[in-house]
Amino acid sequence: MIEIRNISKNFDSIKAVDNLSLEIPPGVIYGILGPNGAGKTTTLRIILNIIEPDKGEVLFGNRKVDLGVLNRVGYLPEERGLYQKEKAIEVLIYLAQLKGLNKRKAKERALELMEKFDLADRAYSKIEELSKGMQQKLQFISTLVHDPEILILDEPFSGLDPINSELLRNLILEEKARGKTVIFSTHILEQAEKMCDFVALISKGKKVVDGKLSRIKADYGKRTIKIEFEGDGEELKNLPHSSLRLYGRFAEIETDMELNEVLKELVDRVKILRAERTEPTLSQIYFTLVGGESENLNNNRI
């Protein structure tokens, strides 16, 4: 659906995006992931033609970005902002009309979504009268109100409490189930890992790796084996081709070895009470590929 071809963007001496190419299939959730400052927001703004790349191009189904393309897109910017003195319903109707809906349909769609977000009773309140959480939900409604084919969300979970994060996560999954394409950026890799079909990991404007999440995990992640044991944890050290993290009588072992091979190595050292193999996390993969920069992932800010 969307092809990004060799885009680059400099701001003075800072290279925000560096020869980045991605292919985003239709009907998937695609995560553009990395720490703050990696170039995620600049990439999204180039996709939307908010800023022009210094080189490269973006195509929507072999079509360059124009107003017709953008009317099919819902965009949630990282910097939230609504017209504070206006009534909530009027803001949503106005924004939907900008995307081509007539006033009757815009109002119908806005009220339907406000009901879904438990905001129906505040439809005629001014934005400034709403709590921060309510305004965040209203901002997301404004992204959906014209029923776009493509959602582009910049740090959508930033500042949300756990309840609203779960609500937003479920709504994104619902949109995908309806056949929509969802692209979002985040530095919270744990959240992305639960939702994404495809991801691109980027660092300092460059692509580190991209593709189907399951394939990236298979190709780049070491197996993690978690064990519960009785005995001296020191006996678990010096396992071949492995790294070890100890938590009392629990241990996590990152290794290329199979579970049975690890158990054979450990059976004479400690008493194994429980053992399981788990998939590598995106954070672990990022750390393996990028190194120290990953310490800034999953933090609120850097």
pLDDT in tens, the chain (302 residues): 899 999 999 999 899 999 999 999 999 999 999 988 899 999 999 999 999 999 999 999 888 988 889 999 999 998 878 889 999 999 999 999 999 999 999 999 999 999 988 999 999 999 999 988 889 889 999 999 999 999 999 999 887 888 888 888 999 999 999 999 999 999 888 888 889 999 999 999 999 999 999 999 888 766 788 999 998 888 888 887 788 888 889 998 888 788 888 888 888 899 999 998 887 788 888 888 887 554 445 443 22
- What is the residue type of 115? E
Q: Which residue has the tokens 């999953």?
A: 298
Q: Three-state DSSP class for 30?
A: strand
- What is the residue type of 33? L
Q: Three-state DSSP class for 235?
A: helix
Threshold 0.85, pTM exceeds: no
Phi, psi of 32 (to 5 degrees): -105, 110
Q: How many residues are given for the chain?
A: 302
Decide if domain 2-213 falls under CATH 1.10.510.10. Answer: no
On the CB side of 194, CA atoms within 13 Å amount to 11
Residue 292: the pLDDT is: 55
For residues 66 and 232, give the distance between their C-alpha atoms in angstroms, rounded to a whole number: 65
Instruction: Quote the tokens at residue 62.
Output: 């072999």
Nearest to 153 by CA among 195, 97, 106, 101: 195
Number of C-beta neighbours around residue 188 at 10 A? 19
Residues 6+ apart with CB under 8 A from 14: none
What secondary structure letter does DSSP report for 92? H
Architecture of the domain whose range is 222-279: 2-Layer Sandwich (3.30)
For residues 166 and 301, give the distance between their C-alpha atoms in angstroms, rounded to a whole number: 21
For residues 240 and 222, give the distance between their C-alpha atoms in angstroms, rounded to a whole number: 14
Residue 221: the pLDDT is: 67
| Residue-range domain boundaries for the chain | 2-213, 222-279
- Rounded to 5 degrees, what angle do the CA atoms 45, 182, 66 make? 45
For residues 8 and 15, give the distance between their C-alpha atoms in angstroms, rounded to a whole number: 8
Say if 2-213 and 222-279 have the same CATH topology. no
Residue 258: the pLDDT is: 84
Helices (H), 63-131: 67-70, 88-98, 103-116
